[in-house]
């Protein structure tokens, strides 16, 4: 999207607050990079697994 729509003139939004905002914390920016495998592992740690239909649910079916 950044390359095609904004012609490379934007930055990925990795954090809720923009850099000029006083609440911006650069240390958090690197904490949650895109990593689908890590996401799956984190969900599995808390008991959320894919069912037969491929949808992820907790032990209560939520």
Per-residue pLDDT of the chain (62 residues; tens, 9 = 90+): 889 999 989 887 777 787 888 988 877 766 667 889 999 999 999 999 888 898 988 888 88
| Domain locations along the chain | 14-48
To the question of pTM greater than 0.95 for the whole model, the response is no
CA dihedral over 32, 38, 40, 43, signed as positive or negative? negative
Q: pLDDT value at position 7?
A: 92
Q: pLDDT value at position 40?
A: 92
Give yes or no for a contact between 11 and 17, defined as CB atoms under 8 angstroms apart. Answer: no
Q: pLDDT value at position 29?
A: 66
Helix, strand, or coil (residue 1): coil
Neighbour count for residue 10 (Cβ, 10 Å): 11
Contacts of range 45-53, beta carbons closer than 8 Å, 24 or more positions apart:
none
């Amino acid at each position: 999207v950044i390359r095609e729509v904004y012609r490379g003139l934007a930055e990925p939004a990795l954090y809720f607050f923009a850099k000029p905002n006083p609440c911006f914390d650069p240390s958090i920016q690197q904490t949650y990079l895109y990593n689908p495998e890590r996401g799956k592992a984190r969900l599995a740690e808390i008991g959320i697994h894919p069912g037969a239909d491929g949808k992820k649910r907790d032990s209560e079916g939520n």
